[in-house]
């Protein structure tokens, strides 16, 4: 059930290995830490009149639970990391979300190994923003807010 505290809140969910950002393959994922991205997102969302719920897990089941808990939020941004390409359970959870869902990636999976070209979760997402480093999250927030405002959902 939607609570007052979930309205005008955007859930930003992060999957496995993103806790290592800053030290994990910086040539691909950049030098910013996940905390840096959390701070940037909070600041940007606040400037747009929203708060954020920023979470990360390495576990597929926990990510599914985070999606379920985010159903009362105004929108969901998700970087499912490796589970993007494998998780039917995550797709099923995202299909239950009525609010806008934006898939984000730091890198551009389509220009990398072929196993990254397929997003299993894409059918549950309004769109995908990839390849802009941490800017993907900021652009994802802009897209989410535009969709929330257009839908008049939890606005």
Contact status: 41 vs ligand DQA (CB under 6 A)? no
Q: Is 117 a catalytic residue?
A: no
Residue 80 Cβ vs ligand DQA, minimum distance, rounded to whole Å: 7
SS3 75: strand
The token pair that represents 5 in the structure block:
């505290």
Unique residue bearing structure tokens 């009149």:
49
The site string for ligand DQA over 82-121 (x = CB under 6 A, - otherwise) reads x-x--------------------xxx-x------x-----
Residue 67 Cβ vs ligand DQA, minimum distance, rounded to whole Å: 16
Contact status: 81 vs ligand DQA (CB under 6 A)? yes
**CA–CA dist 2, 132 (Å, integer):** 32
φ, ψ of residue 32 in degrees (nearest 5):
-80, 145
**CA–CA dist 26, 9 (Å, integer):** 30
Contact status: 11 vs ligand DQA (CB under 6 A)? no
**CA–CA dist 81, 33 (Å, integer):** 15
Contact status: 133 vs ligand DQA (CB under 6 A)? no
Binding site for ligand DQA (CB under 6 A): 17, 79, 81-82, 84, 105-107, 109, 116
């Amino acid at each position: 059930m939607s609570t007052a505290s979930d309205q005008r809140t955007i859930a930003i969910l992060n999957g496995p290995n993103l806790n290592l950002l800053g030290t994990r393959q910086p040539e691909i994922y950049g030098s910013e830490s996940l905390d840096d991205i959390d701070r940037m997102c909070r600041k940007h969302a606040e400037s747009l009149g929203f708060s954020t719920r920023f979470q990360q897990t390495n576990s597929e089941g926990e990510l599914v639970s985070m999606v379920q808990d985010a159903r009362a939020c105004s929108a969901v941004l998700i970087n499912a990391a490796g589970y993007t390409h494998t998780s039917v359970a995550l797709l099923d959870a995202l299909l239950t979300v009525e609010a806008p869902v934006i898939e984000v990636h730091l890198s551009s999976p389509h220009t990398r190994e072929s196993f990254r070209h397929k997003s299993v979760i894409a059918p549950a997402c309004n769109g995908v923003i990839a390849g802009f480093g941490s800017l993907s999250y900021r652009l994802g927030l802009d897209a989410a807010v535009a969709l929330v405002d257009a839908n008049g959902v939890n606005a």
